Structure 1
Amino acid sequence: MDNAEQQFLNDLDTKFWKAADKLRANMDAANYKHVVLGLIFLKYVSDAFDARQKELKGLFEDKSNPDNIYALSRDDYGTEEAYQQAIAEELEVQDYYTEKNVFWVPKLARWETLKTNAALPVGTVLGKDDSGKNIIMTSVSKLIDIALDTIENSNPKLKNILNRIGHYQLGNDLLISLINVFSDTSFSEPKYNGVKLNLKSKDILGHVYEYFLGQFALAEGKQGGQYYTPKSIVTLIVEMLQPYNGRVYDPAMGSGGFFVSSDRFIEAHADEKHYNAAEQKRNISVYGQESNPTTWRLAAMNMVIRGIDFNFGKQNADTFLNDQHPDLRADFVMANPPFNMKEWWNAKLEDDVRWQYGTPPQGNANFAWMQHMIHHLAPKGSMALLLANGSMSSNTNSEGEIRRAIIEADLVECMVALPGQLFTNTQIPACIWLLTKDKSGGNGKAHRKGEVLFIDARQIGFMKDRVLRDFSSDDISKIADTFHAWQTDKDYEDEAGFCFAATLDDIKKNNFVLTPGRYVGAAEQEEDDESFVDKMSRLTTQLKEQLLEGVELEKQIKTNLEGLGYEL
């Protein structure tokens, strides 16, 4: 993005957040996200629908292209009025939208209808429902719920997904002001300082949705972090795995960040791979699972906003006790499950088929998540898992034995140590495990059996504020490019303090501990040409100067205070 586009999005974030933040005076932060994200969802699906409708209208009226199968001839309808009526009826044919993966939005759920009806007096008859009963304007929150109802009824995949807001008893004026703020921005033709921007409505609303998820995670602290993984970390994992096609699975999906990033990855690399992004996306199947009902719904809404087809199971459910995809064998598995999860065990899990490398300890689910993912991995599949650093070295209970068994099975492909302060909800240092069931090479990859790449990225990144650290695009490229260079055996070299390609014998000598710092060594220090005597002389002189400056500053402060009537 150029500066104008980034500034446009920043201003939009601020504008929307200030408008939404007014709701906090009326409700808890954990609840008002449902109102805001519900409206963003309605705005997006309506905008996408309107864009497709505008495109269709042009196709219906265009007879100049002989290959245009949509064109309607005026001669077939007699009068202009009959012709326009025919076009209006065709524009309401649902198949025209679903064939382009655009969600069907009934009239009562369209944004302009919602905005218009919200301004009508209470008691106004708005139309009839499917049973023929009058729909009466009672409150704006009820109008929003009606819109959500009609979308769910017309799109079975969203059944029981969208959160209703009527029970929050929010005032009409407050909701109307929020609707007006969302309306007062052109998502289809955005401009900044009069200059048209190269941003699509999907990109803008997707960005706003993710921004709000991040803000809610910050506002809610640890609990909010359940559904938000830092965008840069998600991007890093996707860039390393490169999920171009196949089945993609996240057993602890949160709000679906890995799927969104996979979608972006395909779009970003379309030109260099010489494929059509829209067609390539049809080669991706998305599967996910989430236990938290709120987060499960947010993930589904996030997929709809992005136009990603998905299968998140029949319901929100515990991944260990109620696997929603028992027969799935995925080509790519990515997850950021809760670190060091304690309350996870159930007697039903004893002798579970997933514990191929040993039964995980009942007080920590780290290796339960890992083995669940390995179980769901296709014979040539690859996976990436974010875990607490302890997973790389702990020998508590059975963890050491499980880690050893996984290493000896030659499943571990790469280990990445991450810097601290990356997450809004925990300060626990984290790492990325990258595993694969096939290191034999092929498809551009080198034979890497019996080898593991270690990357120490603890010194990489920047402080985005006083609390949180982040990765830049260059940081992400440095790590991902190093991994791919090693995978393909093209221009890879060990770099002291950053990366090292180890053998299984090297790892065995380190008692099967996978901490990258043990393998990459220390970074080379720049040679210092200054002699010890010269350096001591320079530093002593510098210290004397600073001490003299301190004395003068102390005198000045004393003089200023005495001038104000203070005696020292």
Structure 2
Amino acid sequence: MVEPEKSNPRAFEAPLWAAADKLRGNMDAAEYKHVALGLIFLKYISDRFNERKAEAEADPENAFLADERDWYAAESVFWVPENARWEYLKENATSVKPTIGELIDTAMLAIEAENPTLKGVLTKNYARPELDQTKLAEVVKLFSDLAFRNKHHGEDVLGRVYEYFLGQFAIAEGKRGGQYYTAGCVVRLLVAMIEPFKGRVYDPCCGSGGMFVQSEQFIEAHEGGRNDISIYGQESNPTTWRLAKMNLAIRGIEANLGSKWADSFHEDMHPSIKADYVLANPPFNASDWGQDKLQGDARWQFGTPPAGNANFGWVQHIYHHLAPHGIAGFVLANGSLSSQQSGEGEIRQRLIEKDVIDCIVALPGQLFSTTQIPVCLWFVARDKSNGIVKDKKLRDRRGEVLFIDARNMGTMKTRTLKELTFEGEGNDVATIADTYHAWREKNGQYEDVPGFAKSVKIEDIATKRFVLTPGMYVEQAAREEDGEPFANKMARLTGTLKKQMERGNVLDMEIRRQLQKVGYGW
């Protein structure tokens, strides 16, 4: 049995994907992802159930607990009926009737019946004719050979498999994949900057729940407790909402994603929430978002967003749900920084004059596998005055905005995809986040960095028509002098230019001669 945590923890992901992807056949990635991810989820909850069961059986005095549901519920382990356990499915994978697909569908129904929080979430169409049952049985056996267990009960290992599959499906689906998958390095940067240690975390367009996963991992990395935060989310796409429920369950993360999928603008599932932290990646430049039905909405404190673009609808929805000392970090298309159309300029101006814009980060291109739209990060705060948050003394930054130009950062991972580094030397995520913290915290040693970061007064932003593009404020880094005297440099450059012009004349004559040979000379 393969135990990835004892070797290269990443070595198993690509082969596992390649093997499982053979099952897809002619099925679209958008459809197949639920097949593959459903199997991963089923394997996970079965493994967790078996581990918990083994714990009880190992102690003769407590062996009776192996059949008690409370024993499993105490550790947030789902109850898995016998006919839904992975070993049962593996043993019957090659049976002709019922087929493995029918067995898996029955297993999913049984799990939903026993665990109300999963009702309507799991995929239940494995017996469909277009799904090759022989290949499905092979994938079941393949997953069986991978030990999804380590010191964190498999959450880290299996969670990485799940995240890897989500990323691969985002690539396979193209633009549509961006509806539920945000580049991991962007999520890490958002989390590193706002540091959601303790309190309520909210994402009004949570996709597959990546923001919440990173928040939990951040807390654990800093030796905090996952019970220190409460998670609230919402998602309008029904299949993506189900993915989020499964993705969080994979990690054992409890979250309130509402009783159903719903549009945050028109059916707010958490109308009274005032979050300490908001993390979000709203759909870019969404049009036809139903603005006409929201005239006079209480959330439009800074002005009614235009009907053709929801960007400033999201900004104001997020601000509306912030607690008095709350901080929000979210992704928007670059157009939000400078657009003057349809009242967007006026809304941005009021946001700046209200002094709720804390920081703007310009990101490099090619960070998203699903879109080439240039994007930026907005950080919005209810209170920018001094105080103590998360045991850190804050500097009074009222009347100022920090601009960070990170467009030149990042490393190309493929021919078309760039990534902000987050480990080792030259850590891009740490460089950006540390700059922000140094600016915001009293003990921070902040200084403007030409070409990278600058703290700007609101009065200076007003002189530029309240445009928030970092490149307009971050001064260019000074070029190093080469020490060559000006007169010498001009003599050298004009000499080079003369030679190039002479060479150009020779080439012009050659072109004319070649044209004369074919009867087109002059």
What residue is the counterpart of 2:410 in the other structure? 461
Distance 1:341 1:538 in 2: 51
CA contact (8 A) 2:48 2:153 kept: no
CA contact (8 A) 2:100 2:127 kept: no
Distance 1:496 1:200 in 2: 47
What residue is the counterpart of 2:387 in the other structure? 442
CA contact (8 A) 1:30 1:220 kept: yes
What residue is the counterpart of 1:184 in the other structure? 145
Pick from 163, 171, 174: which aligns with 2:123? 163
**Structure 1 residues 442 and 177, CA gap change in structure 2 (3 angstroms):** same
What residue is the counterpart of 1:107 in the other structure? 82
CA contact (8 A) 2:330 2:378 kept: yes
CA contact (8 A) 1:5 1:199 kept: no
Q: State whether structure 2 residue 168 is matched by structure 1 residue 219.
A: no
Pick from 220, 223, 226: which aligns with 1:267? 220
* 3-state SS of 2:67 partner: coil
* 3-state SS of 2:347 partner: helix
What residue is the counterpart of 1:295 in the other structure? 240
Q: State whether structure 2 residue 50 is matched by structure 1 residue 97.
A: no
Deviations 1:59-87 (A, max 9, x none): x34xxxxxxxxx44xxxxxxxxxxxxxx2
Count of paired positions: 487
Within 5 Å, give how 1:165-564 maps onto structure 2: 165-166=125-126, 168-169=128-129, 170-188=131-149, 201-270=154-223, 277=224, 280-443=225-388, 444-473=393-422, 474-489=427-442, 490-531=444-485, 533=488
Distance 2:29 2:7 in 1: 27
AA aligned to 2:52 is R
TM-score by length of 1: 0.82
Deviation at 1:5, TM superposition (A): 6.1
Distance 1:341 1:354 in 2: 18
Deviations 1:472-495 (A, max 9, x none): 011000000000111103111110
Distance 1:309 1:345 in 2: 31
Root-mean-square deviation (CA, aligned residues, Å) is 2.4
What residue is the counterpart of 1:195 in the other structure? none
What residue is the counterpart of 1:16 in the other structure? 16
CA contact (8 A) 2:292 2:307 kept: no
TM-score by length of 2: 0.89
Q: State whether structure 2 residue 145 is matched by structure 1 residue 145.
A: no
Deviation at 1:519, TM superposition (A): 1.2
| Larger CA deviation: 349-358 vs 95-104 | 95-104
Distance 1:509 1:56 in 2: 69
* 3-state SS of 1:287 partner: strand
CA contact (8 A) 2:356 2:382 kept: yes
Deviations 1:390-446 (A, max 9, x none): 111111011011001111111111000011111112111100000010112222211
AA aligned to 1:219 is A
CA contact (8 A) 1:53 1:91 kept: yes
* 3-state SS of 2:286 partner: coil
CA contact (8 A) 2:291 2:306 kept: no
| Larger CA deviation: 497-506 vs 526-535 | 526-535
Distance 1:5 1:432 in 2: 35
Deviation at 1:283, TM superposition (A): 2.1
CA contact (8 A) 1:57 1:91 kept: yes
Deviation at 1:187, TM superposition (A): 2.3
AA aligned to 1:100 is E
Distance 2:418 2:470 in 1: 20
Deviation at 1:527, TM superposition (A): 2.3
CA contact (8 A) 2:5 2:157 kept: no
Deviations 1:488-528 (A, max 9, x none): 03111110110111111121122211111111110122221
* 3-state SS of 1:397 partner: helix
* 3-state SS of 1:263 partner: helix
**Structure 1 residues 14 and 537, CA gap change in structure 2 (3 angstroms):** same
| Larger CA deviation: 251-260 vs 24-33 | 24-33
| Percent sequence identity over aligned pairs | 52
**Structure 1 residues 199 and 316, CA gap change in structure 2 (3 angstroms):** closer
Distance 1:160 1:357 in 2: 39
What residue is the counterpart of 2:504 in the other structure? none
What residue is the counterpart of 1:194 in the other structure? none
CA contact (8 A) 1:34 1:165 kept: no
Deviations 1:448-469 (A, max 9, x none): 1111111110011111111011
What residue is the counterpart of 2:55 in the other structure? 55
What residue is the counterpart of 2:40 in the other structure? 40
Deviations 1:328-359 (A, max 9, x none): 11111111111111120243211111101100
Deviation at 1:53, TM superposition (A): 2.3
Distance 2:128 2:209 in 1: 26
Distance 2:339 2:110 in 1: 52
Structure 1 portions without partners, runs of 5+: 62-70, 73-86, 123-137, 190-197, 271-276, 545-568
**Structure 1 residues 534 and 147, CA gap change in structure 2 (3 angstroms):** same
**Structure 1 residues 44 and 531, CA gap change in structure 2 (3 angstroms):** farther
Distance 1:168 1:220 in 2: 22
AA aligned to 2:14 is T
AA aligned to 2:92 is N
* 3-state SS of 1:410 partner: coil
* 3-state SS of 1:453 partner: strand
| Larger CA deviation: 17-26 vs 458-467 | 17-26
What residue is the counterpart of 2:27 in the other structure? 27
Distance 1:425 1:341 in 2: 15
Deviation at 1:234, TM superposition (A): 0.4
CA contact (8 A) 2:23 2:132 kept: no
AA aligned to 1:165 is N
CA contact (8 A) 1:249 1:334 kept: yes
Distance 2:495 2:139 in 1: 63
Structure 2 portions without partners, runs of 5+: 500-522
* 3-state SS of 1:291 partner: coil
Q: State whether structure 2 residue 114 is matched by structure 1 residue 154.
A: yes
* 3-state SS of 1:216 partner: helix
Deviation at 1:117, TM superposition (A): 2.5
Distance 1:539 1:322 in 2: 69
What residue is the counterpart of 1:551 in the other structure? none
